[in-house]
C-alpha cells in the first residue's frame, strides 16, 4: 500500500510539472515580466528588510546599553542602600551608647550630689563641735589653765598648765582632731599617757567632752605626783 501511494504521488507531481511547463511555453513574455517584477519586489523588500534589520540591531544595541546602565544604577543604588543601612546601624549604636553614657553621668551626678550633701552635713557638724570645743576652752582656760591652739593638719592642741605646783608654768599637752567619720581622734600627748586611748574611746561613746578633759588633766596630774 505504501508503494501504491508513492506511485500515485509521483504521478501527480509529473502531471503538475507538465501543466506548469505548458503554461510557460504558451506565455513566455508574461512569465518574464512576472519574473522581473518579482525580482524588483524582492530587491525592494530586501532593501526594506536590510534597513529594518539595521534599525532593529541599533535598537537592540540601545536596549543592551540601557540594560547595562540600569544594572549599573541598580548596583549603585544597592551600594548606597547598604551604606545607608550601615550608617543607620552605627547611628543606632551611637545613640544607645549615648543613652547609656547619659544614664551613667546622671547616676554620677546624683551620687556626687549625695556625697557632697553628706560631706557638707558632716562639715557643719564638725564646725559645730569645734565651736563647742572652743567655748569649752574659753570656759576652762582660767579655771584649768587650759590653752587651745589650732595646728597643722586641722588639729587642736590642748595645753594644760598649773598642774605641777612646783613648776606651774610647765605645759602638759595633747592633740585632737575630728576624723572623716566625725569621731574624736587623740594623739601626741606629752608626757605620754597610756590611758589616752581609753579616754578617746569613752568620749566617742558618751560625747561628754568636759569629762574627757577632766580625766586627761587628772592623768597628767598623776604623772607628776607618781
Tell me what percent of the residues of the chain surpass a pLDDT of 90.
21
pTM assigned to the model: 0.41
132-136, 180-184, 204-208, 213-217: the lowest-pLDDT one = 132-136
pLDDT in tens, 126-173: 677 777 766 766 666 666 678 888 888 888 999 999 888 889 999 999
pLDDT at 185: 92
Q: How many Cβ atoms sit within 10 Å of the Cβ of residue 196?
A: 17
Assess contact for 63 and 69: CB atoms under 8 A.
Answer: no
pLDDT at 121: 80
Distance (Å, whole) CA 99 – CA 52: 68
Distance (Å, whole) CA 170 – CA 172: 7
pLDDT at 206: 93
In angstroms, the Cα distances linking 120 to 109, 127, 130 are 16, 10, 15
User: 131-225 belongs to which CATH class?
Assistant: alpha beta
Can you tell me the mean pLDDT for 197-223? 92
pLDDT at 47: 76
Amino acid at each position: 500500500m505504501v508503494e501504491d501511494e508513492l506511485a500515485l504521488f509521483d504521478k501527480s507531481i509529473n502531471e503538475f510539472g507538465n501543466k506548469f511547463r505548458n503554461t510557460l511555453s504558451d506565455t513566455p513574455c508574461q512569465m518574464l515580466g512576472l519574473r522581473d517584477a518579482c525580482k524588483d519586489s524582492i530587491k525592494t523588500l530586501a532593501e526594506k528588510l536590510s534597513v529594518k534589520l539595521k534599525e532593529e540591531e541599533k535598537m537592540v544595541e540601545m536596549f543592551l546599553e540601557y540594560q547595562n546602565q540600569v544594572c549599573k544604577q541598580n548596583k549603585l543604588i544597592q551600594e548606597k542602600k547598604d551604606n545607608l543601612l550601615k550608617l543607620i546601624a552605627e547611628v543606632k549604636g551611637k545613640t544607645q551608647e549615648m543613652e547609656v553614657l547619659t544614664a551613667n553621668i546622671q547616676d554620677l551626678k546624683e551620687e556626687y550630689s549625695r556625697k557632697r550633701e553628706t560631706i557638707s552635713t558632716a562639715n557643719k557638724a564638725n564646725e559645730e563641735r569645734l565651736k563647742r570645743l572652743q567655748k569649752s576652752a574659753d570656759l576652762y582656760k582660767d579655771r584649768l589653765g587650759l590653752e587651745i591652739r589650732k595646728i597643722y593638719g586641722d588639729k587642736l592642741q590642748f595645753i594644760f598648765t598649773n598642774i605641777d605646783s612646783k613648776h606651774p608654768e610647765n605645759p602638759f599637752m595633747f592633740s585632737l582632731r575630728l576624723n572623716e567619720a566625725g569621731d574624736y581622734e587623740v594623739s601626741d600627748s606629752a608626757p605620754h599617757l597610756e590611758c589616752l586611748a581609753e579616754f578617746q574611746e569613752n568620749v566617742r561613746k558618751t560625747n561628754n567632752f568636759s569629762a574627757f578633759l577632766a580625766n586627761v588633766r587628772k592623768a597628767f596630774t598623776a604623772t607628776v605626783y607618781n
